[in-house]
Amino acid sequence: MAKDPKTLHDAFIDELRDLYNAEKQITKALPKMMKAANAAPLADAFQSHLKETEGQIKRLEQVFESLGEPVKSKTCDGMAGIIEEGRALMGEDFDDATMDACLIAAAQKVEHYEIGSYGTVIAWAEAMGHDEAVRLLKMTLNEEEATDEKLSSLATGGINVQAASTAHGDEDDEEEAMVGAGRKSAPARGSTSSQGRGRQSNGRARR
Ligand code: FE
Ligand code: FE
């Protein structure tokens, strides 16, 4: 007996169950990320997103309700993988700022997965005329996007630079050694090391 093929509505409900499970996984991961965070503003960002995520779970329950569907969860393997990667990072022996940079990277992968999925279910709900679901899901999408932006501003607003400041260990020493070694052959143009300036005072470095 041939069964009718599943419809976009079926795919939509499936995707909502996947998201419901993903959000639950995130509420378990965020407290660990909060503990692993070194910068207070980053820990605060994780904490406030945990609160939001709990609200998002409730909101998904309202979405199911608005559709007359039972609240069900379907294991989200994608989120499990992203969270597993984050868990592995937390086990690494990074310096404090680098750990924070890596936590942000892991968290942004989570947010981007969510942004992709919510964007899809919103577009499908709009196409099928599920207006209440659209309204609710858009509220969550806004929170995910704001979280993503907040994480970006924490990264580029200081954490990355702090992490980068020790990224190359004794690079300055290596650089000086290279400049010193290069003295016999080529002028060290543009170098700000004392040896480089010495070359410039010889009038051989171009300006
Ligand atoms: Fe979420
Ligand atoms: Fe999120």
Question: Domain 8-164 has what CATH class?
Answer: mainly alpha
**From ligand 2's centre to the CA of 94, what distance in Å?**
24
What is residue 116's predicted lDDT score, i.e. its pLDDT? 98
| Cα 63 to middle of ligand 2, angstroms | 17
Q: How far is the CA of 80 from the centre of ligand 1 (A)?
A: 14
Identify the helix (H) or strand (E) that includes residue 65: helix 40-66
pTM over 0.85: no
Mention every residue, 6+ apart, whose C-beta is less than 8 A from residue 184: none
- Please write the tens of the pLDDT for every residue from 50-89: 999 999 999 999 999 999 999 999 999 999 999 999 999 9
Give the domain ranges of the chain.
8-164, 171-201
Integer Cα distance of 52 and 131 in angstroms: 22
Task: Tell how many helices (H) and how many strands (E) occur in the chain.
Answer: 8, 0
Q: How far is the CA of 49 from the centre of ligand 2 (A)?
A: 7
The identity of residue 2, as a single letter, is A
Rounded distance from Cα 110 to ligand 1 centre (Å): 8
Q: Which ligand neighbours the alpha carbon of 21 most closely?
A: 1
Q: How far is the CA of 178 from the centre of ligand 2 (A)?
A: 46
* Contact residues for 183 (Cβ-Cβ < 8 A; gap 6+): 195, 199
Beta strands of 72-111 (E only): which ranges? Answer: none
User: What are 122's two structure tokens?
Assistant: 């919103």
Encoded amino acid at 183, one letter = R
Q: Is 69 helix (H, G, I), strand (E, B) or coil?
A: coil
Distance 146 CA to ligand 1 centre (A): 11
Would you tell me how many other CB atoms lie within 10 Å of the CB of residue 106? 21
Which are the contacts of 121, defined by CB distance < 8 A and separation ≥ 6?
Answer: 12, 15, 16, 19, 133, 137
Here the contacts of 176-182 (C-beta below 8 Å, separation 24 or greater) are none
In the structure, ligand 2 is a single-atom ion and the residues with CB under 5 Å from it are 114, 144
Give residue-wise pLDDT tens across range 83-130: 999 999 999 999 999 999 999 999 999 999 999 999 999 999 999 999
Apex CA 69: angle with CA 141 and CA 53, to 5°? Answer: 30
